Amino acid sequence: MSFELTILGSGSSAGTPVVGCRCSTCLSANSKNNRTRCSSLITLGNGKNILIDCSPDLRQQSLRESIKSIDSVLFTHTHADHCHGIDDLRAFCQINKQQIPIYGNKDTIEQLKVKFGYAMSEPNGFWEKPVLNPQIIDGPSQLFGATIIPVPILHGRLLINGYRIGNLAYLTDVSEIPIKSLELLRGLDVLLLDCLRHEPHYTHFGFDQCLEMAKKINAKETYLIHMTHDFEYEALKNKLPKSLYAGYDGLKLSLN
Which of 53, 71, 88, 173 is close enough to bind Zn ion by CB under 5 A? Answer: 173
Q: Does 194 bind Zn ion (CB under 5 A)?
A: no
**CA-derived radius of gyration, the chain:** 17
Tell me which stretch binds Zn ion (CB under 5 A): 171-179, 181-189, 208-216, 238-246.
171-179
In this structure, are residues 231 and 248 in contact, taking their beta carbons and an 8 Å threshold?
no
**x/- site string to Zn ion, residues 22 to 51, per CB under 5 A?**
-x--x-------------------------
CA pair distance 59, 107, nearest whole angstrom: 26
Q: Which of residues 208-237 bind Zn ion (CB under 5 A)?
A: 229
> CB 226 → Zn ion: shortest distance, Å?
6
Q: Which of residues 61-80 bind Zn ion (CB under 5 A)?
A: 79
Report the residue number, 23 or 63, with the smaller CB distance to Zn ion: 23
Binding residues (CB under 5 A) for Zn ion: these are 18, 21, 23, 26, 79, 81, 173, 229
